[in-house]
Chain A
Amino acid sequence: MTSTSRALTVRWPLWLALAFLATFAALPLAVLAAQTVLGPDGFTFEAWRALLHDENLGRQAGATLQLGVAATAISLLLGGGHAWLTVGRDLPGASLLAPLGIAPLVLPPIFVAMGFSELMPASGFWPCAFLLGVAHAPFVAVLAARGLRATDGRAYESALLLRGRGRAETWLLRTIAPELLAGCLLAFLFTVADHGVPEFLTVKGKAWHTYAEGIMSRWARRAVGTTFAELQSPIVAALPFLAALGCLLWAALKLRADAPDRGVARPLPLRPLGGWRWPALLLPFAYLTAGVGVPVVVLARWALGSAQKREPMSLQYLQQSFAKAMDQCAVHLGNSVALAAATALLVLLLAVPLARRSGRSSPRLELASALPIAAPAILLGIGLVRAFHDSWLRALGNDFYSGFGFAACGYVARFLPFAALTLTGQVRRLPVAAEEAGALVARSPVVRAFRLHLQPLAPAAWTAWVMVFVLALRELDLAVILPAANATAVRRLANAVHYQHEDWSGVIALMLLSIAIVVPMLPSLIAGRRLASLS
């Protein structure tokens, strides 16, 4: 962006977005860091030394890393494989299967875990890794598909002519490596930060502990009277972990930023699978069955009654389940939808100015706005509680902390990076010259900003809204911590299934799924437009 167009840009939305990030993302983590290290009860060097020799903590950290790597490998196999086989391939039904790569993202990981725990004894390392790998594979699938679609077909054909099919495919794999790595990193971050699934499996199987679980279990015991240092230890240990994840995120973003703009001069040619054409269908089917089919079938089975009473499924039972669900959880469902919609809207308002600036003149801002992804939701939630629980707002008699506004702010801080990254990518794809042509037009800065800066972003903004809406609707970890978010449907479900309420839980889960699918599609169905790329 030139100095002139910079001067024409309205600055206050950017400052607002930065202030928000500072208040609801940086401040909670900074408070957490300060409170655990500073003050008379602060963490001492002796405690650090003790922490290093804490076998339990070391085991949890090691187990979490192992879980992250294993689940990411499964995400890469399923998500990356799905994109590789369905984008620009002659796989039967590829055009139908390719957009379904994102489908498992609609389901909260806890639903996938619920589904599989009905079919098999789902506890221990590999089931947990598999479930989280399946649940987070859409990140890899979407980004890999984006990389494949952005590759210039002529460059692939050049490699094909020079070195043959095998080498051309290797070249293509190397070309999309930045997108694949970014997808894997997201899958890894979400896996190691997940608290709900390992906790669910622990209760079911009593066999598995993760790091996020360790943080949460100590945090949950804070009222019972454990020593302060003991309570601090997992959080203190989480801070270097967070820094390491931040560095990884920086590396992935840099890798993507340094990748040349490959343009879309010509899409990839249809790449034949030869004799593998039909057998290759197994992978997309396995991925979609595990990510969507099994959980949906199991939830339907719960709702229809055969899970608890071992009776044949019946519509009459479904009616009873529905009535119970409405009685027990209608308010929570409404809360979930309202919170997700408000979160998605607020995220958009803040992400647009961030994306405009980071896409045009400040690439480092992209990293700053993406960093909250690196913080496990459970840690961010605890930080928000620590920073705002005894805040001056409460002293003034304002119950901001307990209200939905606070929960929405927490959700926005958590999901802002997704919208910011999506919109930044779109801003980079828009030609600078077209905006400069607008700078010569004698129109007010507001009209110019709306018509020339915001209007071209509309498809990507809608995609970002959908993504954040779905992610917020399925968020469990923050819902466990933030007071108002306790009254959301996913949180209620996570509790209910522990108390043998599978019947109405199944109904609520299916309703959540329907909302996650139908609401984002409504404008698309009405206007007849397709969703833009999700990266």
Chain B
Amino acid sequence: MSQPVTVTDLACQRGAFRLGPVAFDVAAGGRLAIVGPSGSGKTTLLRCIAGLERATSGTIRIGANVVADARTHVAPDRRGLGLVFQDGALWSHMTALQHLRFAAPKLAEADALALLARAGLESHARRKPATFSGGEAQRLGLLRALAPDPAVLLLDEPLRSVDVHQRATLVLLLRTLGDERGLTTILVTHDRDEALALATDLVVLDGGRVMERGPAVELLQRPATAFTAAFLLGAACLPTTVGPTGRIVTPFGEFDRPGGSAAALRLVLPPGSTIAAAAPAAHAGPGGRVLGCVPDAGSFRVQVAFEDQLLHSTAAAPLVVGSRASLSLRQAPWLLPWQPS
């Protein structure tokens, strides 16, 4: 039976790195992705939930049970969790069947074989992991985590060591088996596509701090920080200055400061938010060198080097790679702080 997970003011010190305080919750059967760049603390957070790291402070609840707080640290095997590791972390001396039987002693051999068959591993039942491909190893890692019928499934970058062709198979398997059991799923990844394929809610981490959290659709449509826009959308974020009139000065002109914001702002340009065109000889406005140009549904997607950023623009006509392009805004720009105040 699936269980909700609630994390409250969780902090964890690991050498010089400090995670948190972090707070979020996942409803029973919900799917949450913790995303962020390498070193942001997402794996540490997942390990704290699994019980493999001891939190410095804060509380973790699974269902109605407190599994970690200032005085409690429930052992990992008593939390009712399954964890899929980055590279499978399989037991090299055991066969696929032995993996499942060791993880779930009450699982009958026939049931274990049936589970292996669900993942297309029935022919690998008596084989050891050394002969498995990356995708096969990860599928076995998933089955091992699911075999004891956990209430919560934790996934630590499950697609990282899997090639492009096997990713779709694994995503489908993860979603199918997870949905069948109504599992609460918490995923850690630095890959936006992986997060969107496997989760409906996101927590964005950077430097051990939560940048933003919320439904994935909302964060993609209207991020509150430039960091989230850059990380999730691949947006270019240009620095701005404040003019003598108090208006925000950008390479694309001056704009009014958004209401209530006192922090330094960035001009956030998501892909497709600028229009590129061949620059006339005397062009003095914003522009840059064309790095690439490919057709895209009646127009062209153009990559332009602008200052120290890479802009993904659209163009009505093809542009010559290496030529100069002028740039203009296609929509009202986003002016966002880099991180929450």
Contact = CB atoms under 8 A, between A and B. Distances in A.
Contacts of A3: 53-54
B89 interface: yes
B82 A443 contact: no
Interface residues of A, number: 23
Interface string A1-28: 0111101100000000000000000000
Interface string B288-315: 0000000000000000000000000000
B180 interface: no
A440 B82 contact: yes
Contact of A437 (B51, B75, B89): B89
Interface stretch (B90-98, B192-200, B261-269, B270-278): B90-98
Interface stretch (A152-160, A217-225, A448-456, A483-491): A448-456
A405 interface: no
A442 B89 contact: no
Contacts of A436: 52, 76, 85, 89
Interface in A486-527: none
Classify the interface of chain A: helix, strand, loop or mixed: helix
Interface in A158-183: none
B77 A455 contact: no
Classify the interface of chain B: helix, strand, loop or mixed: loop
Interface in B135-179: 141, 144-145, 148
B83 A440 contact: yes
Interface string A430-446: 11011011111111000
Contacts of A456: 91-93
Given A442-B78, A442-B148, A434 B102 contact: no
Which residue, of B81, B89, B148, has the highest number of chain A Cβ atoms within 10 A? B89
A442 B77 CA distance: 5
Contact of A433 (B77, B79, B87): B87
A53 B170 CA distance: 78
Nearest to B84: A437
B128 to A, nearest CB: 11
Interface string B21-45: 0000000000000000000000000
Interface string A54-78: 0000000000000000000000000
Interface of A: 2-5, 7-8, 430-431, 433-434, 436-443, 451-452, 455-456, 458
8 contacts: A2-B54, A5-B52, A437-B89, A439-B52, A439-B75, A439-B76, A442-B148, A443-B77
Name the 4 nearest CB pairs between A and B, nearest first. Answer: A433-B89, A442-B77, A437-B89, A439-B76
Interface of B: 47, 50-54, 73, 75-79, 81-83, 85-87, 89-94, 102-103, 105, 141, 144-145, 148
Given A434-B92, A442-B78, 16 more contacts: A4-B51, A4-B52, A4-B53, A5-B52, A430-B92, A431-B89, A434-B91, A437-B144, A438-B91, A440-B50, A441-B77, A441-B102, A441-B148, A442-B148, A443-B102, A443-B105
